[in-house]
A = this chain, B = another copy of it.
Amino acid sequence: MSGEIFSQEHQIVYYETDQTGKLSIPMIFNLAILASANQSKLLGQGEEQVHANKNGWVVLQYDLHITKRPQNGDVIVIKTQAQEYNPYFAVRNFWLETSTGEELVKIKSIFAMIDMEQRKMIRIPQDIMDAYQATKVKYIDKIPAPQTIDATLPTVKQAYHVRYLDIDSNQHVNNAQYFDWLIDPLGTEFLQSHELVNLNIKYATEVRYGQEVESHFQVFDNQMTTVHQIKVGESINTEASLKWRKIIN
């Protein structure tokens, strides 16, 4: 049995949308994390409690499926649930739904817990998982790795400088920020004629303030798949594969 589902309502406002007038992808992740933060607080396992023990949650991977993005003014319901865990990994689901229960967006995610000072993974404390009532399993329901860059083919790349406002109150680049670096190099012509349907993103190492990142991509499948890497020098910080549908006007 999985943990209880937590729900909260949210009305989309203009600054949460992108140039299409629909909820932006970074904001989808922000709203998802907001709901899980609110659930955690309710269960006495909020950021303050976790940080007090010098521990912190980090996201390792997201698998996002979009049926339809809500738009400015829409009232949606954000839902989240701790699905299952083993000693090192926790699986959490998120949904965005219309107020009548129609699924708009689904995200599956894998989290781990780290010692904030040593930046090393630790066993997830039992009392935390008990609070969420998540199922303890031997092997978690993994997310397949994103399709990887074909090293025999060239990539298109663009450099980005990590800005002061990209850093959040945890002193790291906000996870939602990576999406900006992923898609911007695709260019406006591609982005205005394609709608994202799936994003599989895997974070390997953290990008730090002041670093210069390089966002690389390759296009496959008659423009229906793009495959991405975020690199700092030779180190791969993030890998992602994105699936698209053509917008027919």
Binding site for B on A (CB under 8 A): 13-15, 17-21, 24, 26-27, 30, 33-34, 37, 72, 158, 161, 163-165, 167-169, 171, 174, 176, 180, 183-184, 186-188, 191, 209-210
Contact flag A184-B169 (CB < 8 Å), given A13-B34, A15-B30, A176-B15 = no
The answer to whether A167 touches B19, judged by C-beta atoms less than 8 angstroms apart, is: yes
Is the pair B184, A209 in contact by a Cβ cutoff of 8 Å? no
**Further pairs besides A15-B176, A21-B169, A24-B165: 16, Cβ < 8 Å:** A14-B33, A14-B37, A15-B27, A15-B33, A15-B34, A17-B169, A18-B167, A18-B168, A18-B169, A19-B164, A19-B171, A72-B169, A163-B180, A164-B187, A164-B191, A188-B209
A249 to chain B, nearest CB (A): 16
22 residue pairs from A and B, CB less than 8 Å apart: A14-B37, A14-B168, A14-B169, A15-B27, A15-B34, A15-B174, A15-B176, A18-B164, A18-B167, A18-B168, A19-B167, A19-B171, A21-B169, A24-B165, A72-B169, A163-B184, A164-B180, A164-B183, A164-B186, A165-B184, A188-B209, A188-B210
